[in-house]
Amino acid sequence: MSSALITGCSSGFGRVTAMRLVRDGWTVIATVRRDEDAEALRAEATGPGTLHALRADVTSEGDVARLGREAATLAPVLHGLVNNAGTAYPGPLELLPVEDLRAQLDVNVVGQLAVTQAVLPLLRAAGGTIINVSSIGGRRATPMLGAYNASKFALEAMSDALRVELAPFGVKVTVIEPGGSSTAIWRTSVARADALPDHPHRGDYARLEGAVRRLAAWAESDGFPPEAFADLVVRILAADRPKTRYPLGPGVGRAIAISHWLPDRVRDWLVRRRLGW
């Protein structure tokens, strides 16, 4: 039976993908941050596969070490790792508390590498596949999301290095770059934006903040369904030689290509025009 570890399975991409792989007969180790989420996952899982829901915070050294030990017992040969756990700390960089930037990088970058290191022996044994979940925001930056973009740019770079480093050992590394989708991450982001501390220049960014909020609401309501993410994960895990990157969502690949082709000043002008900024 094939096996996979998926982080961040309380909701969204991780939860849907865990359920899909269990239905397909996989042994799935799914991490969540709360015991009640683990219980809900176990109750929801149906199919010929097996679900092991474990509580683990990817930013906790102790939790990650324990996860590595438990994974070695549950799946000594690991065919897939989906580094899906992630979050967003929005806000203009002038106003963003530095501790929020540290937390952003800790979850979206440092935690991803910590989990990868913890289970790499199991992936080596299977010639497995690491799927790092980046974003369209890992290829182009957006106002109000500078910290999030920085974390995803870093994850893309780390994936490039890992892909070359692990190739001789038969471990494959790829990146998924989703666009907008109906997941909880943007609702969490809006709540964090509301909680930003008072600052003398907070009002200067009101118009920009409103425009970005509208874009986030559109992404949540009109983006692709999380099931499309699960379908892509299944295809990647079945591939002998997966692509290095998989843009996901309507127009995402084209938007990334255009963004990198345009001169920086032209792209800046287009972004400001779209946001009324």
89 is an active site residue: no
CA–CA gap between residue 170 and residue 124 (Å, rounded):
7
Phi-psi sector, 237: left (phi>0), alpha (psi -120 to 50), beta:
alpha
CA torsion angle 68 72 75 78 (round to 10): 60
At residue 193, what are phi and psi to the nearest 5 degrees? -60, -40
- Residue 105 in contact with residue 154, Cβ under 8 Å? yes
Catalytic residues: 148
